[in-house]
Amino acid sequence: MTELIFFINQVVIAGAVLGSIYALGAIGITLIFGILRFAHFAHSELMTGGAFMAFLLASLFAAWGVHAPIPMGFVVLPLAMVLGAIFALGIDKGFYAPLRKRGAKPVTLLIASIGVTLMIQGLIRLFFGSGSYSFFENEPKDVFRFDMSALGSTRPLVITEPQILMIVVTAIAVIALHFFLTRSRLGKAMRAMADNADLAQVSGINTALVVRVTWIIAGALACMAGTMLALDVTLKPDLAFNIILPIFAAAIVGGLGQAYGAIAGGLLIGFAETLAVFNWSMVLKPLNTVLPEWLQLPQTLALVPTEYKLTVAFVILVVTLLVRPTGIFKGASS
Amino acid sequence: MALIELKHVVGGYGGAPILNGVDIAIEQSDIGVIVGPNGAGKSTTLKAIFGLLKVTGGTIEFNGESVANSLPDKLVPKGLSFVPQEKNVFTSMTVEENLEMGAFTRKDDFSDTMTWVYEMFPVLAEKRRQPAGELSGGQRQMVAMGRALMSKPKLLMLDEPSAGLSPRYVIEIFETIVRVNKEGVGILMVEQNARQALAFASKGFVLAGGQNRFTGTGAELIADPEVAKSFLGG
Amino acid sequence: MIRRSLTLFAGLFVLILVIGWFMGVPFTSSRLVEAAAYSLIAMGLNIQWGYGGLFNFGIMGFMMLGGVAVTFISYPVNPQFWGSDGPWMLGRALIAFGAGALLVIAARQSHRIGIRGGWKMALTVLAWFIGYCVYRSQIDPAAAYIEANAGFVGGLGAHPVLGWLFGGVLAAGVAYIVGKICLGLRTDYLAIATIGISEIIRALVKNMDWLTRGTLTVSPIPWPTPLPQDYQAGGMDAQTALLSARGGFLLLVLVIFAVAMFLISRAYAGPWGRMMRAIRDNHISAASMGKNVTARQLEIFVFGSVLMGIGGAILVSFVQINDPSSYQPINHTFLIWVMVIVGGAGNNWGAVFGAVLIWLVWIISDPLAQLLFGTISHWSGQIGWGEIPDIQSRASQMRIFVLGAVITIALRFAPRGLIPEVVRREG
């Protein structure tokens, strides 16, 4: 039982948190791809920038003496998401819209998004330096330990307050997105445009409006993902730049353009990464008593050493490209 | 005053013009059919009306109002609708959602229009919850027409509605078009099955090289030996 | 067109003179050698992106491969390693690797004995897993043993130019595998896959201490040409020796550069280049004309990567140290992209011009930004706003912003670069 609780602590909770973050990032990438047909690399910077905005707001609120029962990062999240959405709209207006207007190919937009990535990253580093920050400098990070001795475990079930909130908030966001896409006129128009942009235009759908809504959703969700990532670990300028590969892998594995696919892909990659670096010898230790001398389990028995965590997302990506390039939910392949 | 009137329209995709002076006039009670050889500018004419390519000369008037180079999201509320030839349904969306997208520009309640469309195409009512991509070619064409009718258009434009359909469906689609016209929707369509289409057309336009060659009622054009020889395959 | 290029290159020459005047000849000569190596790399990207329309966002990885290759080939032999059990243990790991590979191949052929569908899939996955475990069971102790007893495997002590070539070969091998998987799919997939592979190469080189010494770095790596010390031993004064040595190195790099330029220009002017342009400009019609698009793209991707591997190897040779933690995607991948975009994608001379210009600008922008920030800080201090803290680190971050701004501005206002591709009329 102790082993099971250990497994839950190390894999289930960590995987759910990581998967949520990947999923929220991947939804934005997949939506932008569906509507504008380009891989938006600067998405990582929407996440990092959003996290820094949330951080500034949280510090501001704390300075004003605002107290809340939940971590400040979550209190300011709605406001930060609004800013994140405006930020995303501004970037589109300033950098991508002029190129689209000129009739530039999606590849040009892709490179422009690299330029935007560098600009935002440069600005963040310029103002915040390259050190790391924590949302929990002035408030404690509550850790809940549920005693599991009733079930015969010597270890408690450990989960931090931000982790619980993260899973809850992600679930709310995903459900809200689902209702938006299936029930609302604009949400359906968004799906229509992702399905067939020419026909959407011919139907009289205001495509410029759909593009704006896409950036708003993508920006808000990216801000949410970035803030949550910063709450879970620490806030630094290359916060999301380092996880752009797993996020893109999640979007591709789920099928580019498919919002539900991005969620599935995000969770898949999140769990796969945590499972791959999980140290099995802790769980399998009891086997040592039955195994012969020459087959004793080593101290560390992870499928992949932690420093190669990144390879997991890459391997899943490559396998997807080889076996089913359209992804689980059959997205665009060409 | 005609519902739609094109006078000497010139236009293309930036390079040399494809349309070199097209004249078309249609009343709301008309079924207009554009025929002609490949590359004559038939589909291009429809696209020019719908703002999908640049009109550089001539006038396009709809209900007496100039609409040249207007974009679809402005044209649809005015009462124009267009069914493209290919990829004319949202394959990942249900039949009902496809129809809803046709009503995107409408702010009022469109449930009666939807009932009307379902009455016209009973088979769609049965499959309303099914993704349009799973339907047969003929049924897709119905979804596409249904979608275009959801905006309650005064003029419905169709680009080769019978392309790729089996002969049985061709007749069915043509019958539907006549029925839609009887409900008070003007029709302007491009057709490859020229003889068949001209048979029920109240107006026919024979295009070649981006210009009108013959204009008349459908019956007149079929009877004209020169049209028959050059454009209707003898 | 030619006049414009000549004017631009003349301007570049003046810029080099100005930098030489202000920063001194030793500084400038170093930068010129680096610029020559970067020209080679930019040419590699120009082949891939300018000629083939292929994304490669993993330039850093290919450069790192070059660095590892030249270190392995040219670094002196490590007798401690060869005298220990290390080679024997590595040999066992190699055998384990071979056994694992055989197992996977066997599982993939299992349909011949009647195993099909899901069972075959399960068997293949199982074979991969067992093969991986067998390999890990041998390589892990070998790595630990070598790190503990010999430090790392050391080099082969061969001539550095061989190392450069090996860098190209290694890069080609990796490019072949990545290209084989991703080409023929969406072009964006290649971009993501190359980012992935370069990050993985970085993780490997950083952590495989037994092979690369990881973050402990390897130095000094020998030069292919005589070092300044060698000249000094011959009785030259320090300044002349330094310049002669660097001049020799630069000459060697320029020879390689000239050969590459000659071969590429010739190929691109011929039928091969015509086909490439057809493929880039119209994928579908080229495919329908019966050209094997994917195979041609694979060729181009591999060729470009070879130049990147060689360029990366030259840079490591020149600075004489292989430090995996000095590689950053911004400095190594995106900087090259800026070079090609600004210079002019599709034109080799444009790429070369961009490489030299951007490299020099990148280098001198650091002191310039320091100067600018210092001035602003002084001024803001005077009017009572306080001085800017941490000017040193902030100024160097400014460069990243400028790099991004250059990309977006160039795309918007000069999408074809300063020396654009010469549009040939064909057919």
Q: What is the pLDDT of residues A170-195, one digit of tens each?
A: 999 999 999 999 999 999 999 999 99
Closest CA in chain A for residue B99: A203
pTM attached to this predicted model: 0.89
Q: Please judge whether B90 and A192 are an interchain contact, meaning their C-beta atoms are less than 8 angstroms apart.
A: yes
CA distance B139 to B120: 12
In degrees, to the nearest 5, what angle opens at C-alpha C259 toward C-alphas C256 and C262? Answer: 150
- Looking at the complex, report in whole angstroms how far the Cα of residue B38 sits from the nearest Cα belonging to chain A: 23
Provide the Cα torsion A26, A31, A37, A43; round to 10°. -50
Taking a C-beta distance cutoff of 8 angstroms, is the pair A141, A162 a contact? yes
* pLDDT (tens digit per residue) in C255-266: 999 999 999 989
CA distance A195 to B185: 28
In degrees, to the nearest 5, what angle opens at C-alpha B151 toward C-alphas B148 and B153? Answer: 80
Closest C-alpha among C357, C371, C366 to residue C398: C366
User: A207 at the B interface (CB within 8 A)?
Assistant: yes
Taking a C-beta distance cutoff of 8 angstroms, is the pair B28, B5 a contact? no
Task: Please report, for residues A8, A143, B43, B203, the alpha-carbon distance to residue A158 in angstroms, rounded to integers and kept in the order given.
Answer: 9, 7, 66, 78
Tell me the Ramachandran region of residue B152: left when phi exceeds 0, alpha when psi lies from -120 to 50, beta otherwise: left
The predicted model gives C115-142 an average pLDDT of: 88
Which residues 6+ apart lie within 8 Å of C78 measured at CB?
A: C150, C151, C152, C153, C154, C155
CA distance C71 to B45: 67
pLDDT-derived band at A83, boundaries 50, 70, 90: very high
B185: its two tokens: 């929707």
Average pLDDT, chain C: 88
Report the run of H or E that residue A145 belongs to, with start and end: strand A143-146
CA distance A138 to B139: 64
Is CATH 3.30.360.10 the classification given to domain B1-79+154-160+184-234? no
C258: its two tokens: 């000239």
pLDDT-derived band at C274, boundaries 50, 70, 90: confident
Q: Please judge whether B104 and A189 are an interchain contact, meaning their C-beta atoms are less than 8 angstroms apart.
A: yes
Q: Domain residue spans in chain B? A: 1-79+154-160+184-234
Q: Which of C390, C393, C407 sits opposite A112 (nearest CB)?
A: C407
Is CATH 1.10.3470 the classification given to domain A2-323? yes
pLDDT-derived band at C283, boundaries 50, 70, 90: low
Single-letter amino acid code for the residue at B207: L
CA distance B116 to B150: 9
Look at strands B54-62 and B65-66 and give their pairing. Answer: antiparallel
Q: Using a threshold of 3 CB pairs under 8 A, tell whether chains B and A touch.
A: yes
User: A245 at the C interface (CB within 8 A)?
Assistant: yes
Residue A333 has pLDDT above 60, yes or no: no
Q: Which of B71, B73, B90 sits opposite A196 (nearest CB)?
A: B90
Single-letter amino acid code for the residue at B128: R
For residue C426, the model assigns a pLDDT of 46
A172: its two tokens: 């709310």
Hunting for tokens 């680190």 — which residue is that? C393
Taking a C-beta distance cutoff of 8 angstroms, is the pair A46, A274 a contact? no
Rg over CA atoms, chain C:
24
For residue A216, the model assigns a pLDDT of 97
For residue A18, the model assigns a pLDDT of 94
Q: Please judge whether B87 and A191 are an interchain contact, meaning their C-beta atoms are less than 8 angstroms apart.
A: no
Closest C-alpha among C15, C20, C44, C6 to residue C246: C20
User: A184 at the B interface (CB within 8 A)?
Assistant: no
For residue B7, the model assigns a pLDDT of 92
Tell me the Ramachandran region of residue A50: left when phi exceeds 0, alpha when psi lies from -120 to 50, beta otherwise: alpha
pLDDT-derived band at C67, boundaries 50, 70, 90: very high
Residue B53 half-sphere exposure, CB side, CA atoms within 13 Å? 19
The number of beta carbons lying within 10 Å of the beta carbon of residue B109 is 9
Chains that touch B (3 or more CB pairs under 8 A): A
Residue C389 has pLDDT above 80, yes or no: no
Give the single-character DSSP code of A149.
G
CA distance C305 to C237: 40
CA distance C347 to A149: 71
* pLDDT (tens digit per residue) in C98-107: 999 999 999 8
Single-letter amino acid code for the residue at C254: L
Provide the Cα torsion C87, C89, C92, C96; round to 10°. -120
Task: Please report, for residues A154, A267, A277, C143, the alpha-carbon distance to residue A301 in angstroms, rounded to integers and kept in the order given.
Answer: 22, 23, 9, 16
Closest C-alpha among B82, B94, B52, B83 to residue B70: B52
Single-letter amino acid code for the residue at C357: L
User: B110 at the A interface (CB within 8 A)?
Assistant: no
The predicted model gives C205-220 an average pLDDT of: 88
Q: Please judge whether B97 and A203 are an interchain contact, meaning their C-beta atoms are less than 8 angstroms apart.
A: no
CA distance C140 to C132: 12
Which residues 6+ apart lie within 8 Å of A312 measured at CB?
A: A269, A272, A273, A276, A277, A304
- Looking at the complex, report in whole angstroms how far the Cα of residue C306 sits from the nearest Cα belonging to chain A: 22
Report how many helices (DSSP H) and strands (DSSP E) chain C contains, helices first. 18, 0
Point out which residues pair with A158 in neighbouring strands: A145
CA distance A200 to B12: 22
For residue A138, the model assigns a pLDDT of 76
Closest C-alpha among B9, B133, B129 to residue B67: B9
The dihedrals phi and psi of C397, each to the nearest 5 degrees, come to: -70, -30
Q: Using a threshold of 3 CB pairs under 8 A, tell whether chains C and B touch.
A: no
Task: Compute the count of residue pairs across chains A and B with CB atoms less than 8 Å apart.
Answer: 62
Provide the Cα torsion C295, C300, C306, C307; round to 10°. 180
User: B90 at the A interface (CB within 8 A)?
Assistant: yes
Q: Which of C207, C404, C408 sits opposite A307 (nearest CB)?
A: C207
Closest C-alpha among C203, B11, B90 to residue A205: B90
CA distance B200 to B214: 17
Q: Which of A185, A195, A204 sits opposite B90 (nearest CB)?
A: A195
A158 or C385: whose pLDDT is higher? Answer: A158
User: A192 at the B interface (CB within 8 A)?
Assistant: yes
Interface mutation target, options C60, C128, C205, C401, chain A, most CBs of A under 10 Å:
C401
Closest C-alpha among C178, C420, C416 to residue C301: C178
User: C405 at the A interface (CB within 8 A)?
Assistant: yes
The predicted model gives C55-63 an average pLDDT of: 94
CA distance C236 to C223: 19
Residue A334 has pLDDT above 50, yes or no: no
Chain A residues closer than 8 Å to C191 by CB: 39, 41, 110
Taking a C-beta distance cutoff of 8 angstroms, is the pair A207, B105 a contact? no
Chain B residues closer than 8 Å to A202 by CB: 50, 52, 72, 82, 84
Chain A residues closer than 8 Å to C55 by CB: 107, 110
Single-letter amino acid code for the residue at A289: T
User: A245 at the B interface (CB within 8 A)?
Assistant: no
Hunting for tokens 């930020």 — which residue is that? A87
For residue C427, the model assigns a pLDDT of 39
CA distance B171 to B153: 23
Q: Which of residues 113-132 of A touch C (CB under 8 A)?
A: 114-123, 125-126, 129-130
Which residues 6+ apart lie within 8 Å of B4 measured at CB?
A: B24, B25, B26, B49, B60, B61, B62, B63, B80, B155, B186, B188
Task: Compute the count of residue pairs across chains A and C with CB atoms less than 8 Å apart.
Answer: 131
Hunting for tokens 């280049």 — which residue is that? C273
Provide the Cα torsion C83, C86, C91, C96; round to 10°. 160
Chain A residues closer than 8 Å to B151 by CB: 204
CA distance A230 to C22: 44
Q: Please judge whether B90 and A189 are an interchain contact, meaning their C-beta atoms are less than 8 angstroms apart.
A: no
The string of DSSP letters for C267-334 reads: HHHSHHHHHHHHHHH-HHHHHHTT--HHHHHHHHHHHHHHHHHHHHHHHHHHHT-B-GGG--HIIIII
B201: its two tokens: 């057309």
Chains that touch C (3 or more CB pairs under 8 A): A
User: A102 at the B interface (CB within 8 A)?
Assistant: no
User: A198 at the C interface (CB within 8 A)?
Assistant: no
The predicted model gives C403-425 an average pLDDT of: 83
Q: Which of residues 267-326 of A touch C (CB under 8 A)?
A: 305, 307-308, 310-311, 313-314, 317-318, 321-322, 325
Closest CA in chain C for residue A308: C203
User: B92 at the A interface (CB within 8 A)?
Assistant: yes
**Can you list the alpha helix ranges (DSSP code H) found in C46-116?**
59-74, 79-83, 86-108
Q: Which of A191, A198, A206 sits opposite B93 (nearest CB)?
A: A191
Chain A residues closer than 8 Å to C192 by CB: 39, 245, 248-249, 252, 317
Mean pLDDT (10-residue bins), chain B, 234 residues: 89 85 92 89 92 89 90 92 93 94 92 94 93 91 94 94 87 91 93 88 91 89 85 69
Hunting for tokens 């800017």 — which residue is that? C388
C340: its two tokens: 């090609």
For residue C298, the model assigns a pLDDT of 92
